[in-house]
Structure 1
Amino acid sequence: MRLSLVQYHDGAGTRAVAAIRDDGVARVVPGAASVRALALAAIAAGQGLADAVAAAGEGDVVDLNAVTLLPPIDHDDPAHLAMTGTGLTHLGSAEGRDAMHRAAKVDAAPTDSMKMFLMGVEGGKPAAGADGVQPEWFYKGDGTQLVAPGAPLTSPSFALDAGEEPEIAGIYLIDEAGTPVRLGFALGNEFSDHVTERGNYLWLAHSKLRPAALGPELLVGDLPADVRGTSRIVRDGATVWEKPFLSGEANMSHSIGNLEQHHFKYGLFRRPGDVHVHFFGTATLSFAEGVQTQAGDVFEIEAAPFTMPVRNPIVVAEPAPVTVKVL
Structure 2
Amino acid sequence: MRLIQFIEHNCLRVAEVENEKSVRVVNIEGGTYALARAAIAEGVPLEQAVQSRRSEDRIDYQRLVDERRLLPPLTHPDPAHCLVTGTGLTHLGSADTRSAMHAKTQVSEEELTDSMRMFKLGVEGGKPRQGHTGAQPEWFYKGDGQCVVAPEQVIASPSFAQDAGEEPELAGLYIIDDDGHPCRVGYALGNEFSDHVTERFNYLWLAHSKLRACSFGPEILVGELPAHLEGVSRIVRQGSTLWEKPFVTGEANMAHSLSNLEYHHFKYPGFRRPGDVHVHFFGTATLSFADSIEAREGDRFEIGIPAFGRALRNTLALETQTPAINVRPL
- Aligned equivalent of 2:328: 325
Cα 1:263–1:119 shift into 2, 3 Å: same
Q: Any idea what the Cα deviations from partners look like across 1:89-142, whole Å, max 9, x if unmatched?
A: 00038969x99xx9xxxxx93221111111101100000001100000000000
Determine which of 276, 279, 290 is the counterpart of 1:277: 279
Q: Does the alignment pair 1:8 with 2:6? A: yes
Q: Which amino acid is 1:324 matched to?
A: V
Structure-2 separation of matches of 1:27 and 1:154: 32
The answer to whether the Cα contact below 8 Å between 1:169 and 1:187 also exists between their aligned partners in 2 is yes
CA-atom RMSD, angstroms? 2.0
Q: Any idea what the Cα deviations from partners look like across 1:155-174, whole Å, max 9, x if unmatched?
A: 11000000000000000000
Provide the TM-score with structure 2 as the length reference: 0.92
- Aligned equivalent of 1:122: 124
- Aligned equivalent of 1:28: 25
Cα 1:237–1:22 shift into 2, 3 Å: closer
Determine which of 38, 49, 61 is the counterpart of 1:64: 61
Cα 1:88–1:266 shift into 2, 3 Å: same
- Aligned equivalent of 1:105: none
Shift of 1:13: 4.0
Determine which of 170, 173, 176 is the counterpart of 2:175: 173
Structure-2 separation of matches of 1:258 and 1:309: 27
Determine which of 208, 216, 219 is the counterpart of 2:218: 216
Cα 1:95–1:116 shift into 2, 3 Å: farther
Q: Secondary structure at the match of 1:161?
A: coil
Q: Any idea what the Cα deviations from partners look like across 1:59-89, whole Å, max 9, x if unmatched?
A: 3111121121000000110000000000000
Structure-2 separation of matches of 1:158 and 1:292: 16
Q: Any idea what the Cα deviations from partners look like across 1:250-295, whole Å, max 9, x if unmatched?
A: 1111000000000000000000000000000000001011111111
Q: Secondary structure at the match of 2:235?
A: strand
Shift of 1:215: 1.9
The answer to whether the Cα contact below 8 Å between 1:84 and 1:141 also exists between their aligned partners in 2 is yes
Shifted more, 150-159 versus 24-33: the winner is 24-33
Q: Which amino acid is 1:322 matched to?
A: I
Shift of 1:23: 9.0
Matches within 5 A, 1:107-256: 109-256=111-258
- Aligned equivalent of 1:314: 316
Shift of 1:14: 3.7
- Aligned equivalent of 2:92: 91
Structure-2 separation of matches of 1:177 and 1:36: 17
Determine which of 21, 37, 40 is the counterpart of 1:40: 37
Structure-1 separation of matches of 2:157 and 2:113: 28
Q: Does the alignment pair 1:17 with 2:14? A: yes
Structure 1: any 5+ residue segments left out of the alignment? 103-107
Structure-1 separation of matches of 2:7 and 2:141: 29
Structure-1 separation of matches of 2:74 and 2:308: 15
Shifted more, 25-34 versus 305-314: the winner is 25-34
Shift of 1:321: 2.2
The answer to whether the Cα contact below 8 Å between 2:86 and 2:140 also exists between their aligned partners in 1 is yes
Q: Which amino acid is 2:6 matched to?
A: Y
Structure-1 separation of matches of 2:324 and 2:201: 23
The answer to whether the Cα contact below 8 Å between 1:30 and 1:59 also exists between their aligned partners in 2 is no
Cα 1:259–1:24 shift into 2, 3 Å: farther
The answer to whether the Cα contact below 8 Å between 1:215 and 1:311 also exists between their aligned partners in 2 is no
Shift of 1:319: 2.3
The answer to whether the Cα contact below 8 Å between 2:175 and 2:183 also exists between their aligned partners in 1 is yes
Q: Secondary structure at the match of 1:61?
A: strand
Provide the TM-score with structure 1 as the length reference: 0.92
